[in-house]
Structure 1
Amino acid sequence: MRDFIVDRNLKELTEHRTIVLPVACYVTTISENINGHIPLHWHDEFQFVVVLKGIANFQINEETILVQEGEGLFINSGRLHRAKDQKSTGCVYICLNVSPHFVVSHELYTTFVSPYIQATNLQYLHLDSRNSWANRILAAIAKVEQLISQRLPYYELDISMEITCIWMNLIKNGLQLEFKEKETIKDLRMKQMLNWIHQNYTEKILLEDIAQAGQLSRSECCRYFKRFLKKSPLNYVTEYRIQKSLILLQQSHLTVTDVAYQVGFNSTSYFIDKFRKSMNMTPLAYKKVRN
């Protein structure tokens, strides 16, 4: 299984880089992740995806999209996202993460990259191979993965040219950029509430606390979580605690009760019940598998 590490702000920390360039390209099987899915996270890099097998269910901020075999996805910098295998299809995809500062030269960044990061209507783009511009991007992503695997002389330069090609095709597809302050504030408030949970999940958490972190009323806080995560704030807290317990359960000196209290549960039996429903096994069974 591949461990997927994020910090308390949900920013991805997992190290995927395989070369000296600010580029990460790898093939991943969703079900082999430690969580059984790719949990909610964000990163500064642009992410490009090509699904090689099965169907991936991606959520980017509030929106959900199914990406079929042969299709792809562009996820913008800084957007919250996660991925699940749609109905256990054995989904495998190429993931290409690229630093925004690498796609064009410094002199061109302000004109050809920065506005696309700031655009509120560009959370993601579905890369459908029936569109010629998208098909060129999909082919270039596969080419980058091949170049990294082969590592022929000057392959770094070839990768740089492919990434420039990817970006040029993306921005030339005709999308009219929009900049709505309300949307920017909404994204910021959601990240503030998630950040507060991740800093305080080991303590007792009330709905009022989460709402206050986002400068919202309790009812509005619930609506935010329903829109972004399709669950209540407190259900998210429970799921996050279980996610954090996975790492602790791999430490042989910690008992299930130790782990339960360290991640914020005040009852071992409640932790076991919630863990079983989430992971389809007990914490003890998971601990035996991972140790």
Structure 2
Amino acid sequence: MRMQIILPQLEIHGFYSSFENTPHAHEDQFQITIPIKGTCHFKHEFKDMALPPGEGILLQPRDRHSLHIGDGSGLVILRISHERLYPQEFPIHREPRYRHQFDVNRVSKYVGQWTSGMMALDLADPLVEEELETRIISDLRELIWKGNVPISPQLALSFTDSNPYHQRVLEFMHAHFTEHLNISTLASLAMQSRYHFIRSFKSLTGVTPYQYVLQLRIREAMIRLQQSDETVTDISFNLGFSSTSQFFRSFAKFTGTTPEQYRKRS
């Protein structure tokens, strides 16, 4: 059995039966290989290794490698760009070890959460995809540095103190919620990293940025269904939904009814 999550800056591959690949390298990605069950027979350049469960290895871009696992074994491979593993807000960072001991149960728990997150969310909206990717990358950094990910003083201050830029973010979201928004733009308005912005925004509002935008869109849709002659398709398109099916799912989730039924009752 194989599982994979492919996002713009990150790839996660899970193998839960026999698997083997040929020597290869990744041009611009770090690779973290973590055996979950059984032994992973790993070759890095000209060195052969037998990795037991939890003993991971972190490869630099362009490192040549290959591996194989047998039946009954489990393995997780994560590939991530340099910019995401070492974000700009951490100008000074401690290099992770080449060989790293991971908590297998914790890794499995995270992978389960990431997979369920992919299945539960509507990734047709770029804002959802970006939120999920940011969360996964944050979890990955915590796994690598065991919770000791450095935080710059400026970021720590902006997170612990009341952030005056959040009002600017909210005003921007209210003005542009019908457009395609992204976490990078919103985080820059808040003067925070993407991860800290999502955390502090949820702490402030009780929901993620995407959920907040979705609420604004649904609220406006309810008004238009009551007060205009726009078709449901036009309302969906004009409010920034990627498809009418996404609009129907979101509307039903928030109101318990379909747009047509809501219009008839109004």
**Same structural fold, with TM-score higher than 0.5 when normalized by the shorter chain:** no
Structure with higher Rg: it is: 2
Report the TM-score when normalising by structure 2.
0.38
What's the TM-score, normalizing by structure 1? Answer: 0.35
